[in-house]
Amino acid sequence: MAAALPRNGDLADQLELLADLSEILGEQPFRVLAYRRAAARIRDTAASVAELALAGTARELPGIGKTIEAKIVEAVESGEMQALSRRRAQVPGEVASFMRLPGLGPKTAARIWRELGVTTLAGLREAAERQRLRALPGFGQKSEEKILRALAEGAAAGEPRRGLLGSGLPLLREVVEALRAHPAAVEVSEAGSVRRRKETFRDLDVIATAADPAALTAHFVALPWVLEVVAHGDSKATVITKQGLRLDLRVAAPESYGDLLQHFTGSKEHNVALREEAQRGGLSVSEYGVTVSETGEVRTFRDEESLYAFLGYAFIPPELRESAGELEAARTGTLPHLVELADLKGDMHCHSSWSADGRASIEEMARAAAARGYRFLCLTDHSHSLRDGRIEAQWEEIAAVNERVAPFRVLRGVEANITAKGDVDLADEVLEQLDWVVASLHTSFDRSPTERILAAIESPHVDCIGHLSGRRLSRRRGADVDVERIVARAAETRTALEINAQPERLDMRDVHARLAGEAGVLVPVDSDAHTTQALAYAELGIGQARRAWLTKDQVLNTRTWAQIAKMRG
């Protein structure tokens, strides 16, 4: 077998570093921008870009041309792009990491290196302590203090920590409610990446209009969960919460609420693409309004619908605003009608106390699901908890519960483990008596994960693959699975691929779920709940499904169990 191809993430990292080093070396800014755009595109591509480049088709991706495609081929064949190796030889190792310090960009990093001869983070700390940095023009005492503080906090060490959507969304909603309750507030909305339901966030954004903006921002910085006020003006404030989350409020005039909300919902890439398009039509878009270049007339919009309409687009749901084809679809009237939380009729992956880590009884889970408006629940306790005849005992309990909760229905399921050899760890005689079999990787993620998942898909008893990559956000990156092959085979065998809605999983990720949907794979949105409360994670999974452009039809559990059983024949 050939050596593994570099992952999209690895290629994107190389291009990002190439961009950083090029910038420090003072090269053409637009080339740097091109590297960064290509990196972002590669990260959000489901297919293996290494494979595409080898086939000569990577250049069909927007933002990737002949030159960058050739660089990717180099990286595949030799491990690293030559352009990157060359610049690495020119710029000392840690200079690029200077740029991770807040307020410190490429220009400043270059000057610290070239003019002061500082090449390491330790050297940078020493230079700041000895007040050598202020020798640089435009540098003073405050800049030195800021750098020392950031170094002490370990800001340069690695990636900035991101919060999980599952923890940010509830807090953001509390803030929105608290602001709405204030008499000066007119309209209040969540914004930013959380509004787009992106799986992780850097900060939480809130937008408002108010009769008295200063009163509202004053109320905001005095909310009970505020630990520290970072900035506080009449129209804008930033605070740090007691959980260490960064919270931003922007207040605007009611007549340009739509402009502001659109701007602060992002994504940055969506806004850049939107504005570039608008500019070609002689319009300049900002958070304050749309300026007609020829006349200088400024149009403002009270809501996003009318802003998008004025620019020639259908309303684009926030979850789609990632510059991934949504602008074209909105212009041509081909946006999908996205699935909604209320469409769900059941949950197809959850656990009871029959699993070692489950907390609620079967009946408690069933009643909680019914209370959410569901009609059925596939109970999928772990296979290793159901050995030695326990599964038959569980079936008896399921039957008894079903009598008590009818017409709600609990189905006999299991979450089986895909072993290191690629087997499903339950006997066929047991599997064939089950209504719903989820098979998942739980261990040995680096041992041929693709082949093991494909083997599970081939089993006639496996109905669905659980949490495809096994990733844990901000803890463990997922298995390096060949999603294209798995999706293709899942489509042929009519095996479902779930979106697991656990806050730290959200697995499949958005671009992979989109690929699955396009291939005709049915995607259940599952909570993987181990408690009754965790059934509510379905909302996060629906956000992920919407980010994947999925419609109601493409999400399997928008159907009743009777409909699903009929479909499966």
C-beta closer to DNA: residue 69 or 304? 69
Q: Which of residues 123-152 bind DNA (CB under 7 A)?
A: 134, 137-143, 146
> Could you tell me which residues come within 8 angstroms of residue 363 by beta carbon, excluding any fewer than 6 positions away?
401, 404, 405
Rounded to a whole number of angstroms, the minimum distance from the CB of residue 532 to DNA is: 37
When binding is defined by CB under 7 A, the residue of 31, 43, 345, 485 that contacts DNA is 31
Compare residues 30 and 152 and give the one whose CB is closer to DNA.
30
154 binds DNA (CB under 7 A): no
In whole angstroms, give the CA distance from residue 48 to residue 166. 29
- From residue 556, how far is each of 14, 437, 517 by CA, in Å? 38, 14, 11
Tokens describing residue 339: 């699935």
For residue 142, the minimal CB distance to DNA (Å) is 4
Residue pair 432/461 in contact (Cβ under 8 Å)? The answer is: yes
Site for DNA (CB under 7 A): which residue of 120, 241, 284, 444? 284
According to the binding rule CB under 7 A, does residue 287 interact with DNA? yes
Which of 56, 117, 254, 281 binds DNA (CB under 7 A)? It is 281
Write the single-letter amino acid at 476: R
Backbone angles phi, psi at 551, to 5 degrees: -95, 175
**Which amino acid appears at position 282 of this protein?**
G
What is the amino acid identity at position 353? Answer: S
Options 115, 126, 276, 357; binder of DNA; rule CB under 7 A = 276
Does 291 engage in binding with DNA (CB under 7 A)? yes
- Choose, by CB under 7 A, the member of 225, 288, 395, 445 that binds DNA: 288
CB of 249 to DNA, least distance (A): 13
Which of the residues 304 through 323 are near DNA (CB under 7 A)? none
Measured CA angle at 118 (ends 115, 120), to 5 deg: 155
Give the shortest CB-374-to-DNA separation in angstroms. 38
Q: Is 155 in the site for DNA (CB under 7 A)?
A: no
Which residues 62-121 are close enough to bind DNA by CB under 7 A? Answer: 62-69, 83, 99, 101-109
Hey, how many other C-beta atoms are within 10 angstroms of the C-beta on 76?
19
Nearer to DNA, 272 or 341 (CB): 272
Footprint of DNA on 394-413 (CB under 7 A): none
What single-letter DSSP state applies at residue 338?
B
Q: Closest separation between CB of residue 295 and DNA, Å?
A: 15
DSSP conformational letter for 222: T
Residue where the block lists tokens 């920590």: 161
Q: Least distance (Å) from DNA to the CB of residue 536?
A: 29
| Among residues 11, 12, 17, 38, the one that binds DNA under rule CB under 7 A | 38
Contact flag: residue 260 with DNA (CB under 7 A): no
- Three-state secondary-structure class, residue 184: coil
Report residue 418: phi and psi, to 5°. -90, 115
Distance of CA 297 to the CA centre of its chain: 38
Closer of 149 and 404 to DNA (Cβ): 149
Longest Cα–Cα distance of the chain, Å, equals 81
**Rounded least distance, CB 434 to DNA, Å:** 48
**Contact characters 220-259, DNA, x per CB under 7 A:** -----------x-x--x-----------------------
212 φ, ψ (degrees, to nearest 5): -130, 90
Instruction: Count the helix, strand and coil residues of the chain and give each as a percent rounded to the nearest 5.
Output: 45, 15, 40
Q: Which is nearer to DNA, 149 or 566 (CB)?
A: 149
Residue of 120, 286, 306, 493 interacting with DNA (CB under 7 A): 286
Q: Among all chains, which residue has been given the structure tokens 């927007």?
A: 62
Q: Looking only at residues 319 through 378 of this chain, which bind DNA when binding is defined by CB under 7 A?
A: none
Q: How many residues bind DNA (CB under 7 A)?
A: 57
Among 7, 10, 13, 33, binds DNA (CB under 7 A): 33
Nearer to DNA, 47 or 491 (CB): 47
Cβ proximity to DNA: between 111 and 489 the closer is 111
Whether cis (ω within 30° of 0) applies to the bond prior to 267 is yes
Q: Cβ(452)–Cβ(418) under 8 Å?
A: yes
In the complex, minimum distance from the CB of residue 56 to DNA, in angstroms, rounded to a whole number: 13
Please count the CA atoms within 13 angstroms of the CA of 234 that sit on its side-chain side.
7
Q: How far is the CB of 271 from DNA (least distance, A)?
A: 5
Tokens for 280, please give them: 């070609």
Scored b (16 or more CB within 10 A) or e, 316-350 reads bbbbbbbbbebbebbeeeebbebbebebbbbbbbb
Per-residue binding string, DNA, 424-463, x by CB under 7 A, is: ----------------------------------------
CB of 230 to DNA, least distance (A): 8
Residues 213 and 234: beta-carbon distance below 8 Å: yes
Using rule CB under 7 A, residue 272 touches DNA:
yes
Stretch that binds DNA, among 215-223, 271-279, 487-495, 531-539 (CB under 7 A): 271-279
Q: Are 65 and 95 in contact (CB under 8 A)?
A: no
Nearer to DNA by C-beta: 99 or 253? Answer: 99
Number of neighbouring beta carbons within 10 Å of residue 305 = 14
Q: How far is the CB of 97 from DNA (least distance, A)?
A: 13
Residue 152 CB, shortest distance to DNA, in Å, is 16
Min separation Cβ 185 and DNA, Å: 20
Separation CA 467–CA 471 (nearest Å): 8
In order, the DSSP letters of 424-474 are: BSS-HHHHTT-SEEEEE--S-TTS-HHHHHHHHHHSTT--EE-SSS--BTT
List of residues contacting DNA (CB under 7 A): 28, 30-31, 33-35, 37-38, 59, 61-69, 83, 99, 101-109, 134, 137-143, 146, 231, 233, 236, 268, 271-272, 275-276, 278-282, 284-288, 291
